[in-house]
């Protein structure tokens, strides 16, 4: 079935780095834009970034621009988010999702905690 | 950035009642780019409505979306026990943004 599975979350110190991965299955990954969306504990949803199907176009929220990098490997059906210079306010569940306009498939999320 | 404001913050209703959720945008949104999501505790959001009024695959017809410009509405015609959750609207302008959510709770 159509599925997205995130991994790579964990506890990291302020200023540290982390790389999230998202494995896609059940659909033609290379046909779709993909996105990362996060949710701080007890808070609402915040779009983080998206990438076009061929990686030619990316876009970022102002809150992460210059610190996070989205990428994908269509041969591996995988999406990535490289997060550098992490801050306490980056603490959240990070979801990968299919789409650019509306997000029709979501993963279960991976928790990122930034704390000393 | 387009800011979405949802109201009310919390809606207390009984099963079988009608729920009307509002989403107001700080500037006009193309109807093609307005979506609604449902999120239950500990779960990822689920797409309900896209293009302001089109139901996503597998979504029951008690869920309907309407509106245009800056004012959009999600209506649940008769609440089922599984509908009590948090609902978010979302738009795509130059970058996607979400509303802050409306919690539909059991009265």
Quick check: A49 and A95 in contact, CB under 8 A? no
In chain B, the residue whose alpha carbon lies closest to the alpha carbon of A111 is B42
For B26-69, how does the pLDDT look when each residue is reduced to its tens digit (9 = 90+)? Answer: 999 987 799 999 999 999 999 999 999 999 999 999 999 999 99
Checking if the pLDDT of A100 tops 80, the result is yes
Residues 39-98 of chain B with CB under 8 A from chain A are 39, 44-47, 50-51, 56-57, 88, 90, 92, 95-98
CB contact B101 to A (< 8 Å): yes
Tally Cβ neighbours within 10 Å of residue B19.
19
User: In chain B, whose CA is at the least distance from the CA of A42?
Assistant: B41
Query: Is the minimum CB–CB distance between A46 and chain B shorter than 8 Å?
Result: yes
Instruction: Report in angstroms the alpha-carbon separations of B44 from A12, A42, B11, B38, B101.
Output: 23, 13, 21, 9, 14
Report whether B71 contacts B24 (CB < 8 A).
yes
**Closest by Cα among B79, B72, B88 to B32:** B72
Long-range Cβ pairs for the range A61-69 (8 Å, 24+): A61/B95, A62/B1, A63/A89, A64/A90
Residue B94 has pLDDT above 80, yes or no: no
Mean pLDDT score across all residues of chain A: 97
CA nearest to A113, candidates A89, A84, A81, A85 = A89
3-state secondary structure of B71: strand
Residue B41, class by beta-carbon neighbours within 10 Å (0-12 exposed, 13-18 middle, 19+ buried)? exposed
Instruction: Report pLDDT for A20.
Output: 98
For the stretch A25-77, pLDDT in tens is: 999 999 999 999 999 999 999 999 999 999 999 999 999 999 999 999 999 99
Environment class of B91 (CB within 10 Å of its CB; exposed 0-12, middle 13-18, buried 19+): buried
Q: What is the pLDDT of residue B68?
A: 92
Residues of B in contact with A103 (CB under 8 A): 35, 37, 45, 47, 90
pLDDT level of residue A107 (50, 70, 90 thresholds): very high
Q: What pLDDT is attached to residue B50?
A: 95
Under 8 Å between Cβ of A85 and A68: no
């Amino acid at each position: 079935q159509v599925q997205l599975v995130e991994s790579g979350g964990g506890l990291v110190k302020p200023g540290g780095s982390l790389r999230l991965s998202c494995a896609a299955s059940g659909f033609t990954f290379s046909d779709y834009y993909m996105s990362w969306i996060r949710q701080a504990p007890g808070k609402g949803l915040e779009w983080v970034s998206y990438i076009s199907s061929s990686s030619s176009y990316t876009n970022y929220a102002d809150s992460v621009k210059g610190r996070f990098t989205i990428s994908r490997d269509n041969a591996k059906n995988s999406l990535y988010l490289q997060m550098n210079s992490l801050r306490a306010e980056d603490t959240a569940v990070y979801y990968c999702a299919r789409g650019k306009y509306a997000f029709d498939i979501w993963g279960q999320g991976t928790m990122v905690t930034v704390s000393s | 950035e387009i800011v979405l404001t949802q109201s009310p913050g919390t809606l207390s209703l009984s099963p079988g009642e009608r729920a009307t959720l509002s989403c107001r945008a700080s500037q006009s949104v193309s109807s093609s780019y307005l979506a609604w999501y449902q999120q239950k505790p500990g779960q990822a959001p689920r797409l309900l409505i896209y293009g302001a009024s089109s139901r996503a695959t597998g979504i029951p017809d008690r869920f309907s979306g309407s509106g245009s410009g800056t004012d959009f509405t999600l209506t649940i015609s008769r609440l089922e026990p599984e509908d009590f959750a948090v609902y978010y609207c979302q738009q795509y302008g130059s970058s996607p943004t979400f509303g802050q959510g409306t919690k539909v709770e059991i009265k």
